[in-house]
Amino acid sequence: MKIGTPKEVFDGEARVAMTPESARMLQKLGYDCAIEAGAGVAAGFMDEAYAEAGVEVVHGAEALWRGADVIAKVRPPSDAEVGMLTADKLLISFFWPAQNGDLMQAAANKGASVIAMDMVPRISRAQKMDALSSMANIAGYRAVIEAGNNFGRFFTGQITAAGKVPPAKVLVVGAGVAGLAAIGTSTALGAITYAFDVRPEVAEQVESMGAEFVYLDFEETAKDGAESGGYASVSSPEFAAAQLAKFREIAPDIDIVITTALIPNREAPELWTKDMVDAMKPGSVIIDLAAEKGGNCKLTVMDQKIVTDNGVTIIGYTDFPSRMATQSSTLYATNIRHMMTDLTPDKDGRVNHNMEDDVIRGATIAHANEITFPPPPPKVK
């Protein structure tokens, strides 16, 4: 069977789902590999490198889709791409099935199988396929780099002949995968880093990374907002008020805020209000990684950088992984390769779409002419 990767059609998307390195590994599973000409260029992978790795370079999307049994891509398919699916094909990509019901129905109507990389169950065995975490890690790192690029001072404190430079103070709100990556990057750059999360169990992890956990003066901290299989749930009004009061108190002293707070299947909670922005010093920076879900900061504009009247830069970009396309393509292509390994137990270049396998079942949203989303809960942790 042949695995093909087309050039992404979403405007500005620089990532690619197959690299020369991942193609070598896919060939070891018995597959032939094909790439649309130019598909890797924006991520730094040239056609020649693919050809050297034994990948067929195909000219034109239609020829690529026609010739491949498995299509591996990054973004959900466009309507035109779904039109190129046929009953014998397997599509693997991010899909966001809950938001893209019509697209999922269209793919199912074609009889194609679809694996959504955003639906890979977050169980230990599936970590190597967890593309959400791969991308969140990059977003967290890049958020700090982007903040530094828009901040007029050093992160680390210095004593120089020309004077003493105070360290920057960074607050990371939400210490999930992206938040922890941001914390690690910020402390590595020498900033005094604070972090807050509604899940108090992350405090130890935050502190072990050299950051300071922001504790609330709130009796129920230990359980509020913390239940729900490791994910955050909605906080009580009292807890939310205590959190906002704490942020309001520290806002004038913080130079950079990186917000990453999300609650699955909900709009992002509003945690950084206009009066907090107003209280920040000119030159301060806010990077809102929750912009796509409405933003944690009241003033964030999705996909935009704005500067407020009091000189605070607020960045709501939603394409941080694409801004580091070489790194994100490498990790994503590896996640795809691991998915293909699970789908190819006999290493014979043939897909065994085993719906009894928790991970494959969980991620499959269309199979044998049927929508298979949402999946049953995974049996193992």
Site residues (vs ligand NAD, CB under 6 A): 122-124, 127, 130, 133, 136, 173-179, 196-199, 230-232, 235, 260-264, 269, 271
Sign of the dihedral through C-alpha 106, 112, 117, 118 = positive
From the CB of 175, what's the least distance to ligand NAD, in Å?
5
231 is catalytic: yes
Q: Are 64 and 58 in contact (CB under 8 A)?
A: yes
The 10 Å Cβ neighbour count of residue 296 is: 24
Residue with tokens 């960074």: 170
Q: Are 186 and 211 in contact (CB under 8 A)?
A: yes
From the CB of 350, what's the least distance to ligand NAD, in Å?
28
From the CB of 289, what's the least distance to ligand NAD, in Å?
8
**Which of 15, 50, 113, 130 does the annotation list as catalytic?**
130
From the CB of 272, what's the least distance to ligand NAD, in Å?
10
**Which of 88, 99, 105, 127 does the annotation list as catalytic?**
127
278 is catalytic: no
130 is catalytic: yes
Bridge partners, residue 34, by sequence: 4, 56
* List of long-range contacts for 81-85, beta carbons under 8 Å, 24+ apart: 81/6, 81/9, 82/106, 82/107, 82/110, 85/110, 85/112
CA distances from 214 to 43, 279, 301 (A): 38, 19, 27
| Residue 33 or 214 with smaller CB distance to ligand NAD | 214
From the CB of 167, what's the least distance to ligand NAD, in Å?
23
122 is catalytic: yes
Provide the angle, in degrees to the nearest 10, between the axes of the packed helices 131-149 and 325-343: 170
127 is catalytic: yes
| Residue 58 or 129 with smaller CB distance to ligand NAD | 129
| Residue 296 or 322 with smaller CB distance to ligand NAD | 296
**Which of 122, 125, 153, 350 does the annotation list as catalytic?**
122
Structure tokens at 149: 């690029």
- Cα(327)–Cα(43) distance, integer angstroms: 8
Q: Which residue is nearest to ligand NAD (CB)?
A: 176
| Residue 25 or 289 with smaller CB distance to ligand NAD | 289
Radius of gyration of the chain (CA): 22
| Residue 260 or 328 with smaller CB distance to ligand NAD | 260
**Which of 22, 113, 133, 327 does the annotation list as catalytic?**
133
Residues acting as catalytic residues: 122, 127, 130, 133, 231
